[in-house]
Each structure stands twice: as structure tokens, then as C-alpha cells.
Amino acid sequence: MADDVVVPPAAVLAQYQVVYVSNPVACLTPLIVPAGSSVVAGVEHQMVDGLDATALARVDLVVTNAAGWDSLRYRGIHVPVVVTDGARG
């Protein structure tokens, strides 16, 4: 894991119902999310290839752009997705 990536311990995450991950390639594997919490991952299209199906299986919702959605579909990965669109992304 990169030195600049901080993954809070489970005791801290237990305080939250939703955990947002903006660097899922680095964070999903070491992330320990308590039962009852949901994981939302923001995934840029260039990050999709660095994620495997096992890591994405831990995610409750992926937020990505159209290119990321196309990549997920091409790879046959089925996860709930919100696709951002337009200039504001």
C-alpha cells in the first residue's frame, strides 16, 4: 500500500453507515468495514483495470463515469453503479 494512503481502523469506521473510498485500488483490500456499513467507491475509468472482481465484490455501490461503466461491463463485472455524466461529472 502506498505511504500516502490512510485506511482508518475498523473501530473508527464503525461510527459510519457509509464508507466512501476514493482510491479503491489501494484501499479496498486492507479496508475492514463493520457489518451494517455500506462501501461506496469512486472509480475513475483508468482505475477499473486495477480492480479485480473480488475487491469489487466488497463494494455496495460504484460511482464512475461512462468510460468506467463501459470497462466494468466489458469485463463482465456486475456491481450496482451510478454513472456520472456531463461537464460536472
Query: For residue 3, what pLDDT band results from cuts at 50, 70 and 90?
Result: low
Contact predicate 74/67, CB 8 Å: no
- Segment 21-43 mean pLDDT: 83
pLDDT score at 87:
61
C-alpha cell at 48: 477499473
In the chain, the N- to C-terminal Cα span, in Å, equals 28
- Is residue 18 predicted with pLDDT exceeding 80? yes
- Whole-number percent of the chain with pLDDT over 70: 91
Contact partners, residue 72, CB within 8 Å, separation at least 6 = 48, 62, 64, 79, 81
Q: What is the pTM of this model?
A: 0.81
Query: For residue 28, what pLDDT band results from cuts at 50, 70 and 90?
Result: confident
pLDDT score at 63:
92
- Segment 44-69 mean pLDDT: 86
